[in-house]
Amino acid sequence: QVQLVESGGGLVQAGGSLRLSCAASGSIFSINTMGWYRQAPGKQRELVATITSTSITNYVDSVKGRFTISRDNAKNTVYLQMNSLKPEDTAIYYCRAEGLITTSRWRSDYWGQGTQVTVDS
């Protein structure tokens, strides 16, 4: 069974920084793309950033220059360094593993349970 567990969320003042981590565990053979999504109250879930197994990254325009996504393939872990945080970054942040292949060669996508990020003005 595969699980994604996020950590690192919390309350921070505007202009501050947080670092989110997401560790995938279980019988994992490989993961194609890992990413972070967020959902603010009353809004749809949106993509924040993704990173492929070869470290190709993609960011939503609103976080470019402020957020950095990285991953440790050996640990099946993805990180999101968030700097210069703004109140509009307040949301629940979800980790996603796309194209995860288990040791029994089952391929699927997985979500973490989410971690709250609140930026106080």
Q: CA–CA separation, 32 vs 53, rounded Å?
A: 5
Q: What would the mean pLDDT of 47-73 be, rounded to a whole number? A: 97
Q: Give the CA distances from residue 110 to residues 13, 74, 104, in Å, rounded to whole numbers and listed in that order.
A: 31, 18, 16
Extract the tokens encoding 97. Answer: 């593993």
75-96 per-position pLDDT tens digit: 999 999 999 999 999 999 999 9
Confidence of residue 61 (pLDDT cuts 50, 70, 90): very high
For the chain, the average pLDDT equals: 96
5-55 per-position pLDDT tens digit: 999 999 999 999 999 999 999 999 999 999 999 999 999 999 999 999 999
